Chain A
Amino acid sequence: MPELTFIDAIRAAMADEMAADERVFVLGEDVAQKGGVFLATDGLLAQFGPLRVIDMPIAEAGIVGVAIGAALHGLRPVAEIQFADYLHPAIDQILNEAARFRYRSNGDWSCPIVVRAPFGAGIHGALYHSQSVEALFTSTPGLKVVIPATPYDAKGLLIAAIRDPDPVLFLEHKQLYRSLRGEVPTGSYIVPIGRAEVRRRGSSLSLITYGMMVHACLEAAAQAAVDGIDAEVLDLRTLAPLDVDAILATAHRTGKVLIVHEDNLTGGIGGEIAALIAEHAFESLDAPVRRLAAPDLPATPFSDNLEEFFMLDPHKILAGIRELARY
């Protein structure tokens, strides 16, 4: 099986689906001639032509609104927003329109769009190029929010998103684009939306996480094992709708849960997961549910030491694991 980078897996998903289904097209700022700001759509213009790889004005409401209209007309648009921070000008279109079409029409209409956007910190992007924005979207039923952690999942989940009959926000951690390689099958396959995956089996406690933090958690879990702490790592993969069964199953299994996300603490998805566990797995718990997240700052800071303070890493997670294990 070939090894691909995270971003090559994403590109392969789009290329495969565009080849298989002529309704699929991509649109976004710089996606055609430049091939995307991170080159996720590089080469698609040459392969599929300017009617299916569309350079859009740098106006995000327009990119998403036009994608919605095209989806209503039977197409399968994949819109790229250059950075997740730029989703905000398009929030009206995503939340007020895309997420509501099925509901407002009693299921007569659907809005099968994918909105892809790179998110996350760690590359000194500061205010407008680093945000984790997922919590803004996970509280809107009708919208699906997917965050892959591996190249295999990136391809399989993106294909699933393109084929999904409902709108999907697909967030890609930009630091993984070229730093992560993994085995990715050629040809089409699906990783189902809405299913979490246990990345490491363990019995002492559970780490529930997603995106780039999956890798930080796995590294911390490996170090904790040296101390005899056997941590389970659950990769959520989809944040909306959540895989409630998998979350409760791991809580029941280990009785101790540490939720880890790069998004800031207050209002993050961690609070929702903690509430689910409190409501439905309380009697299995041997300790309070704990959360590790970014501090509640308005934005990611720029300089090295400040960004380091902001970001979680295996060292900070290991400290959290040890503390919870001692409880």
Chain B
Amino acid sequence: MAQKTAQPDVARNGGGKPSAAEHDHELLTELFRQMVLIRRFEEKCQEMYTKAKIGGFLHLYIGEEATGVGAVSALRPEDHIFTHYRDHGHAIARGLDINPLMAELFGKVTGTSKGLGGSMHFAEAEKHFWGGYAIVGSHLLLAVGVALGMKMQNKASVVMVFFGDGATNGGEFYEALNFAQLWKLPVVFVCENNLYAMGTPLEVHSSVTEIYRKACAFDMTAERVDGNDVLVMREAALRAVEHARSGQGPVLLEAMTYRFRGHSAQDTQKYRTKEDVEKYRSTDPIEVFRRTLIDDGVLTEEQARAIESRIDDQVEESVRFSEESPEPGVEWIKQSGVYAEAIAVDPPIHGE
């Protein structure tokens, strides 16, 4: 069971590490594949950004893959996801095809939002992936509203909502947690604590640096976990999802993680040293998990390389797909992008 905030079991996250050998090999391989796919996809995004094939803002999830993959792996197809602007990892973990994702970054009509949204607003209705939201904290309330709808319709689905440590200082975080707990709504709040709100360190922006303790104010079940260990993250998410699905109410998970790249592609990262980043890179969640899988006999080195090679091909294919896709036309916006019924975007000219 997940821990109440009054007696957090932080020690378990360092000590009670799940062994890879206890898990189904197919599942372990799939978790590995997803993490590598996110990594290679985003490395390609950075390359394409540098080549000016991708414009606008680019917030990379590199370094945090274990959190998203582990958490999303605990969900069923009927469950729902809301996330923040650093949304590539959650989208891929949820199984969105990377071709339309890359095309969206290229601003092409084949993108998930036909080129309207770009990096921060991936979405897909069929996967119940409600997308990335770039107003920090505002989407927590939307997740709670979806969960209220489920409660009213007696559905046993769960809503998982991702946000960063910075979002926990805003009012909407408190409004969302209070109402979710008050109504015992099936929401799993996943705070990805990567130690920085953009460029402001955790201890500078939050009076409480153990974010999970903020749940105390709502008597909500909460847990701090090692988000850089995909199996620890998955186990915690499974506990939280079960808690929410069984009607016991929401859970706040604080996933400790770290992003290797800047806040966005333009970040000069004056708020941390190269040594800080190197320290975390030396325990890269993907490298550690890869080594574990090989050491435990789940994969051979050759099998791991074959997976990585197939992913490289897949990512190259997404670039080819995006480059060959046409630009979006503007006509459909005038027809249907504003209201359900088409309205004239330009006012009619009278007397002509």
Contacts and interface: CB of A to CB of B under 8 A. Distances in A.
Nearest to A96: B135
A107 interface: yes
Interface in A58-103: 59, 61-62, 64-75, 89, 92-93, 96-97, 102-103
Interface in B140-179: 140-150, 152-153, 171-172, 175-176, 178-179
Interface stretch (A116-124, A244-252, A299-307, A308-316): A244-252
Given A61-B141, A62-B176, A73 B113 contact: no
Given A106-B337, A280-B350, A280-B351, A56 B179 contact: yes
Contacts of B348: 244-245, 248, 280
Nearest to B180: A66
B189 to A, nearest CB: 14
B340 A244 contact: no
A247 to B, nearest CB: 9
A141 interface: yes
B340 A69 contact: no
Given A25-B152, A105-B123, A69 B146 contact: yes
A103 B336 CA distance: 8
A92 B136 CA distance: 11
B329 interface: no
B143 A102 contact: no
Nearest to A52: B152
B152 A244 contact: no
A70 B338 contact: no
A68 B141 contact: yes
A61 B138 CA distance: 8
A298 B333 CA distance: 37
A167 to B, nearest CB: 10
Given A105-B123, A280-B350, A281-B351, A61 B172 contact: yes
A92 B138 contact: yes
A62 B347 contact: no
Nearest to A98: B142
Contacts of B140: 65
Interface in B35-56: none
Contacts of A284: 351
A110 interface: yes
A226 interface: no
A72 B142 contact: yes
Contacts of A323: none
B343 interface: yes
Interface string A231-243: 0000000000100
A252 B350 contact: yes
Contacts of B340: 102, 107, 110, 164-166
Interface in B161-217: 171-172, 175-176, 178-179, 182
A244 B345 CA distance: 12
Interface centre among A65, A110, A244, A283 (most CB of B within 10 A): A65
B324 to A, nearest CB: 21
A69 B142 CA distance: 4
A72 B152 CA distance: 13
Contacts of B116: 103-104, 106
Contacts of B138: 61, 65, 92-93, 96-97
A44 to B, nearest CB: 15
A70 B171 contact: no
A109 interface: yes
Contacts of A72: 130, 142, 145-146, 149
Contact of A68 (B145, B147, B153): B145
Given A105-B113, A106-B113, A65 B175 contact: yes
Contacts of B350: 245, 248-249, 252, 280-281
Interface string B310-352: 0000000000000000000000110011111001000111110
A144 interface: yes
A25 B145 CA distance: 13
29 contacts: A57-B178, A57-B179, A59-B178, A62-B141, A62-B172, A62-B179, A65-B142, A65-B176, A67-B145, A69-B142, A69-B143, A69-B149, A70-B146, A72-B145, A73-B148, A73-B150, A92-B135, A96-B135, A102-B338, A102-B339, A103-B333, A104-B113, A105-B113, A106-B113, A165-B340, A245-B348, A252-B351, A280-B351, A281-B351
Interface of A: 25, 51-52, 56-57, 59, 61-62, 64-75, 89, 92-93, 96-97, 102-110, 141-142, 144, 164-166, 241, 244-245, 248-249, 252, 276, 279-281, 283-284
